[in-house]
């Protein structure tokens, strides 16, 4: 009997259907939150993803898992908003302006899901872990963006500066400027840039 035909490379490299449907559900959750600014119903997520509600609960142990996976998925869906490599060149003033603009664009685009995650984190340990992980990653980018200037500080003052910069350019800060104080995008970026100029050391 002849040997069976080798597997089709296209089929071999294609993700399993279950994985595809699970990713569709995560993307549906993200899209609904960004559109509505609120936590969507599981039924709406399933309908948007084109899966049954029973399948949705088979893909995720609970809604906390879905929310957590959505936060992780953001980096894959919106890589340009999280990538700072393109703005890490230039002199101090250029990097400050670029960083303020990049952080503003991140929060202006993704704030519904970010703020939902923060709110969930107040009552849910799993959600809090995701929020803390995101904050840690963003603080790490502060260290990279302003490494030349931060190196001039003592370790304790360096940590203080990183924390202050990360807090200034956080989604919570975005919410205060844009919603509480009614500042426009241009006004918010200008204020952040001016504040960063004071926070980032000038060796």
Say whether pLDDT at 84 is over 70.
yes
CA 183 from centroid of its chain's CA atoms: 22
Binned at pLDDT 50, 70 and 90, residue 8 comes out as low
Say whether pLDDT at 12 is over 70.
no
3-class DSSP state of 152: coil
Are the C-beta atoms of 190 and 133 separated by less than 8 Å? no
| Residue-wise pLDDT tens digits, 161-202 | 999 999 999 999 999 999 999 999 999 999 999 999 999 999
Residues with Cβ within 8 Å of 172's Cβ and at least 6 positions away in sequence, in order, are 118
Nearest to 30 by CA among 58, 79, 71: 71
Report the range of poorest mean pLDDT among 40-44, 85-89, 115-119: 85-89
Say whether pLDDT at 2 is over 90.
no
pLDDT of residue 5: 47
| Residue-wise pLDDT tens digits, 114-134 | 998 898 888 888 778 888 999
């Amino acid at each position: 009997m002849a040997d069976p035909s080798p597997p089709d490379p296209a089929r071999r490299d294609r993700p399993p259907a279950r994985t595809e449907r699970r990713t569709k559900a995560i993307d549906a959750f993200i899209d609904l939150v960004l559109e509505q600014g609120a936590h969507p119903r599981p039924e709406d997520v399933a309908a948007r993803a084109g899966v049954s509600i029973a399948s949705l609960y088979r893909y995720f142990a609970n809604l906390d898992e879905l929310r957590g996976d959505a936060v992780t998925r953001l980096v894959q869906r919106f890589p340009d908003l999280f990538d700072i490599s393109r703005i890490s060149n230039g002199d101090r003033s250029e990097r400050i302006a670029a960083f303020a603009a990049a952080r503003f664009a991140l929060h202006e685009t993704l704030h519904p899901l970010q703020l939902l995650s923060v709110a969930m984190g107040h009552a849910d340990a799993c959600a809090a872990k995701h929020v803390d992980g995101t904050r840690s990653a963003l603080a790490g980018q502060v260290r990279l963006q302003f490494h030349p200037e931060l190196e001039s500080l003592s370790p304790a003052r360096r940590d203080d500066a990183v924390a202050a910069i990360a807090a200034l350019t956080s989604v919570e800060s975005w919410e205060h400027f844009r919603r509480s104080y009614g500042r426009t995008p241009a006004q918010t970026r200008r204020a952040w840039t001016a504040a960063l100029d004071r926070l980032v050391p000038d060796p």
